[in-house]
Amino acid sequence: MIFNTNFEEQILNLFDEFHLPKEFFSFIWIILSILTLILGVTIGVLVLVWLERKISAGIQQRIGPEYAGPLGIIQALADGTKLLLKEDIIPSRGDTWLFHIGPAIVVIPVFLSYLVIPFGHHIILTDLSIGVFFWIAICSIVPLGLLMAGYGSNNKYSFLGGLRAAAQSISYEIPLALCVLSISLQLSNSLSTVDIVETQSKYGFWGWNLWRQPIGFIAFFIASLAECERLPFDLPEAEEELVAGYQTEYSGIKFGLFYVASYLNLLASSLFVTILYLGGWHSPVSFVSISDHSNSIFSNGTGQVVDIIVGIFITLAKAYFFLFISIMTRWTLPRVRIDQLLDLGWKFLLPIALGNLLLTASFQVFSL
C-alpha cells in the first residue's frame, strides 16, 4: 500500500534501531497491506448485504433482519457461519477437481481486482500503469469458473446455467471495456486508476467525467449490473428456474462463495464507477484540495491522517450511493428474458459503446 514517503522512512528508522533488515520490513508491510485490504473489503461486503436486506424490506414494507445484533447488523455474518458449518456434499459422478476449483476461480479474480482501486490519496495497494485493463482482464477469468462449476456438477441443468452465465458475462464485458477505453485513452491519456482520478480533480463537481461521458456512464452502469448478474439480469440463477443454475449441486461454504463473489464484484464495480466517472476521493463541493486544507489547520502529520480519512470517506460515500441505486433497481424493474438480455448486449449496448468511443476520439482530434 502506497503511503507518504516520510511515514515509510520513520518506520524504516524504527527497524534500524532494532537491527532488523529492510527486506523483513518490506515483507511485513506487504502482508499487513494485503490483510488490511481483505479485512476492509470483507466488512464492506457485509455492510452491503445488510443494506440490501434493509432497503428491500423498506421497499416491500417489511422490517428486515433485526434480531442478529442491533438492527440485524450481524445477520450476514451469522449466515456465513451457518454456511461454513454445513455439510459439503459432492456429486458422486461429478468431476471432483472442477467442482472444487470452480468457486475459487470465481472469487479469487474479483479479490485481485481490488489491488488497483485507490480508496484515497496514496491509499492503493499497487498503482499499475494498466490498472483498468488489469481489472477487465482479471474479471474475464470469472466465466471460466462458472463453466467449471456447471460442468463439474455432472448436471445438465447446471451446465446450461454455466453456459448462460458465461454468455452473459462475455456479452457485457465488451461494452464495459469500450466505455473504459473512452475514459482512459481519450480523456485521461492513462490507464492508471490514480491518473484517471487526478484528471477529474479540477473544477470540483463539474470536473467529473460523468458530464463529459453521459452516454458512456449509462452504458457502463447497465453493463456492470449485467456483469454482476444483478436484477433485472440475474438469468443464470433466476427464481423462475427449477434449479439454481450453475450452483445447483453446491452446498455449504462453496454455495456461499458464489454469492460472496457476486457482492464483491458489485462493490468493485461501484468503486470503479466512482473512479472513472465521479471523481474518486476528491470532494464534489470544494475547489481546494483536501490535503492543503487539512494541513493548513493541523500539523503536517495530523493533516495527512485527516486527508486519508476524508478521502476514504468520500470514496465510500460515492460508491455506496451507486450501490443504493443498484439495490433500488433490483427491487423495481422486472426480470428480462435471456434473448432480450443478449439482444440488449450485442444489438444496443455494443453499438452505443463503440459509437461513444468514436465520438470521444473525434472530439479529441478536433480539439487538437
The neighbouring-strand residues paired with 120 are 123
Whole-Å CA distances, 345 to 60, 85, 95: 30, 39, 32
d(CA 193, CA 23): 28
d(CA 317, CA 107): 25
Whole-Å CA distances, 162 to 90, 92, 236, 268, 309: 17, 19, 7, 22, 41
Average pLDDT, integer, range 109-119: 91
Average pLDDT, integer, range 65-93: 88
d(CA 275, CA 118): 8
CA atoms within 13 A of residue 166's CA, in its CB half-sphere: 18
Return the pLDDT at 276.
92
d(CA 352, CA 349): 5
Whole-Å CA distances, 332 to 165, 224, 319, 326, 329: 22, 17, 20, 10, 5
Return the pLDDT at 315.
92
Return the pLDDT at 245.
79
Q: For the residues of 141-160, what is the DSSP string, one character each?
A: THHHHHHHHHHHTT-HHHHH
**How many percent of the chain have pLDDT more than 70?**
86
| 248: Cα separation from own chain's centroid | 25
Could you tell me the pTM of the whole model?
Answer: 0.88
pLDDT tens, 177-230?
Answer: 999 988 887 777 888 898 899 888 887 788 888 888 899 999 999 999 888 888
- Mean pLDDT value across the chain: 83
Inform me whether the pLDDT recorded for 18 exceeds 70: no
Return the pLDDT at 16.
61
Return the pLDDT at 218.
92
Between 269 and 2, residue with greater pLDDT: 269
Return the pLDDT at 17.
62
pLDDT band at 4 (very low <50, low <70, confident <90, very high): very low
